[in-house]
Amino acid sequence: MRDELTTESLRSKFSGVSNGLPGSLRLRLHRSLSWIERAEKEAEDIDAAFIFYWIAFNAAYAKDIPESYGAEERELFGEYFEKIVRFDANRTIYEAIWSRFSGPIRLLLNNRYVFQPFWRHHNQPQTYGNWEVLFVRGQKMIGRALARQDTRVVLSILFDRLYVLRNQLFHGGATWNSGVNRRQVEDGAKIMAFLVPRFIDLMMDRPDSGWGPPYYPVVD
């Protein structure tokens, strides 16, 4: 069962199928697995664990990385999650969203502190003065997706919010081990710890599904 997936079993599966994988996918998965293994060593440091899981996720999905986060990055999320959800025959991702992590996910989706327009307005009050309108509009979109149990849309919005959390940590917008944002970091790390290995597992099951070359290949 995929719910019993461990890093050891994932690494073993990768070793067994590696020679039959396209070279670009093999490199993606090798890199992603290395960061998952590193993240698991950070049980006491949630900030570090979240960062390492994000790097693992980035290794799995990223293509040509835009200079700045925006519509292009959201589109990449959407394309990637559309495949992941389509290949989720055992409904592991589905169950994670709707059962296993439904509480933490709803809290993140309702948290203005991981909503980028809130921070843009806070830092530059003359911009995004309508952030509250945008937030309410987003909540309505989330509500419709939840009502339809649209896993792809919920995943895309969830990782959009997790990306804001990622930026806070990567760009020094948070204090290490801070009590201010502890709940969202803890929830984010737990969600990533469960989902990212299962994304990798699904990618191994569908090696010829056009995952694309990594943006930073190994160059001699």
**Residue 36: CB atoms within 10 Å:** 24
pLDDT tens, position by position, for the chain (220 residues)? Answer: 445 789 999 999 999 999 999 999 999 999 999 999 999 999 899 999 999 999 999 999 987 655 545 556 667 788 899 999 999 999 999 999 999 999 999 999 999 999 999 999 989 988 889 999 999 999 999 999 988 999 999 999 999 999 999 999 999 999 999 888 789 999 999 999 999 999 999 999 999 998 988 888 888 7
AA letter at 220: D
pTM as predicted: 0.91
The predicted pLDDT at position 58 comes to 93
C-alpha to C-alpha distance for 136 and 35, rounded to whole angstroms: 36
Q: Which residues of 69-108 are buried (b: 16+ CB within 10 A; e: fewer)?
A: eeeebeebbeebbebbbebbeeebbebbbeebbeebbeeb
C-alpha to C-alpha distance for 31 and 24, rounded to whole angstroms: 11
The predicted pLDDT at position 54 comes to 97
